[in-house]
Amino acid sequence: MAKVTLQKVVKSYDGKQQAVKGIDIDIADKEFVVLVGPSGCGKTTTLRMVAGLESVTGGDILIGDKRVNDLPARDRDIAMVFQNYALYPHLSVYENIAFGLRTRRHSAEDIEARVTEAGRILGIADFLKRKPKELSGGQRQRVAMGRAIVRHPQVFLFDEPLSNLDAKLRAQMRTEIKRIHQTVQATTLYVTHDQIEAMTLADRIVMMNHGVIEQIGTPDEMYHHPASRFVAGFIGSPPMNFFDCHVVQAGSGLALRLADGTELVLPEDRAKRYAQWRDKAMVFGIRPEDLGLATEAARPDQVMPVTIEVAEPLGADTLLYFPLGDTFACARVDPHAPTAVGQTVTLAPNLAHMHLMEPEHGRVV
């Protein structure tokens, strides 16, 4: 296996449109890194440059300590799993997995050993004699992964491999991919637009937006310590709520004045942290799970009265949606709480978990 390094990598088309704008990424040996972001952010282009399927306009890509910018894809010792399984319909599962080994003239004994081992790891040992048309979508994706695993490459590249699967099967395959990575211990670069895949699979996440990197961090860091409003809104389901506010004086401390006039007095540590933004228009971010129903013990200067417009019971919890200023926000509450559409309830945000952001650039302060 090997580390992968991207140094000031740029990709432009016709010398004008920049799809990737000078990014730096260091992927350690055996690390599982996920590139995530919306369509058009540059994540797939970045993966294809690592694979050798796209040329590099500027910067360097290294696999191990070897610069591979001008190296053909076949000589980079990588294996790629695509969104499209690209299986040969006339070949058996065994022959599909073995195909790349045969073209590289591996011995029959080596092919047998590698395919058998891949079948065991992927749980498809009983399907090796079947044709792809006899398999489910999840089983076909396992075959595509098996074709990559038997290569024993330095780096695995995944390009949105679960996009064609239904929701239940995607969840199952996420678990399978994580289990396989723990078994094979391969350096892996994985591309997805699905933040749940990123959170559940990654050792580290690279969040991309408009060809640049917004933040690199562990799933925990991305969730609890987002660097920008973009990251905070992309990671998490339902996404973080954002309320326009003003930071105002409140006695000897500070408060957030919301669009409806509600003032939330900040805890002492937060007041010290945000002192330099006194009298500034800012954005208050809070996740739905940190916006619960107020109890009798809640401070009256740290609650928000709101009117429920939509309620979504999910079994384990209930999502309450309500308007506040220009924001249609969400709170995640106990499913047994007595709430109904049209009812006014009092919410108590957990201000220890809040985020304050600049409105112009979205930077978390």
* Residues 196-220: tens digit of each pLDDT: 999 999 999 999 999 999 999 999 9
Q: Does 1 score more than 70 pLDDT?
A: no
162 and 107 share one domain: yes
169 and 74 share one domain: yes
Name 223's Cβ contacts closer than 8 Å, sequence gap at least 6.
199, 235, 236
228 and 265 share one domain: no
pTM for this one?
0.90
pLDDT given for residue 152 in this prediction: 86
pLDDT one-digit tens code per residue, 28-64:
999 999 999 999 999 999 999 999 999 999 999 999 9
203 and 349 share one domain: no
In a domain, residue 363? The reply is no
**Containing structural domain, residue 180:** 4-234
- Alpha carbon 195 to chain centroid distance? 3
Closest CA to 14 of 50, 57, 49: 57
- Cα of first residue to Cα of last residue in the chain, in angstroms, is 39
SS3 27: strand
136 and 273 share one domain: no
Q: How confident is the model at residue 161 (pLDDT cuts 50, 70, 90)?
A: confident
pLDDT given for residue 263 in this prediction: 95
> For the chain, what percent of residues have pLDDT higher than 70?
100
Q: Is 156 exposed, middle or buried (0-12, 13-18, 19+ CB in 10 A)?
A: buried
28 and 59 share one domain: yes
Q: Does 69 score more than 80 pLDDT?
A: yes
> For the chain, what percent of residues have pLDDT higher than 90?
76
